[in-house]
Structure 1
Amino acid sequence: MRESRVEGLEETLSMLDGLPKALVLGGYNKAFHAAAGVIERELDARVPIRLEYEGKDLMVAGGALKGALMFIVTLDSNYRGGIVAVGFGKLGYIANFVEYGHRMVTHKPGLKEVGFVPAYPFMRPAADAAHEPSVDAFARSLAGTVRELNHKA
């Protein structure tokens, strides 16, 4: 996926330098969650599901990937930033199969190729669409935390 680095927040970061470390962590935590939410929404809108007819009703038959969508925020212990990981947990390998396509093979002993499932890119377009909005969400959240804390001080 795509890696983003937030730059141009020197004023906000200099304000954070004067605040207690616990408050800095809270501000980063909130900002990273705001950014992760944007990425997760973009990805959720693009995760493929399988629809099947049950009688005359159209029903969702798939959805395991959509249900496995998650994010984890990890903060740097030196108060310098953090990492947001958005993915599908233990079903990540299935997401990769869908994203890039895969061969269909029989099980041992023959391992004969019986078909090919074409790629259905959804993660890369979601990352591209979420790139700028997630950085903006991070910056807005962090600036809001700084303003909020400066008004309390």
Structure 2
Amino acid sequence: MENLKKAYIAGGCFWGMEDLFRVRPGVKDTQVGYIGGSNDNPTYPNHPGHAEGIEITYDPNETSYRKLLDYFFRMHDPSTVDQQGNDRGSSYRSALFIQDEQEEETAREIIKIVDDAARWPGKVVTTLEPYTKFWPAEEYHQDYLLKNPNGYTCHFERFGTFL
């Protein structure tokens, strides 16, 4: 378990993203939370500037950051600013929270591939933001769609791989 890595992403409501990523090959754990904002200890009613994000714990021997990003860009619309489905505002922005130069290089490479494929209605607007701290969301948000199978989600796999 010591070789596991973490990735931090946001692409709209965290419920749907977590539900899809939790079953991806190589993903060992997911947790929803708040990231990229201005206050410590954010909560659902008080998370100014934070995105609804997910922490993905994965085994790099079974998957890669590159493959995770390929899936990320297939299951939400990265060409809309601060919006996914009915959710609007900066909490629902498309963002990658970059931990090192390799992640940034991979993110830029995948964004170019996605833009060149022209499958979305516009260019990718996903922001690359420095990772600072991930704050886990309240317990009722964790595994929300497992607990509430008919809950709202706007996330689904739209098409096959970009790779």
| Same fold at TM > 0.5 | no
Which structure: greater strand fraction?
2
Answer with 1 or 2: which has the greater Rg. Answer: 1
Which structure: greater helix fraction?
1
| Normalised TM-score (structure 2) | 0.27
| Normalised TM-score (structure 1) | 0.29
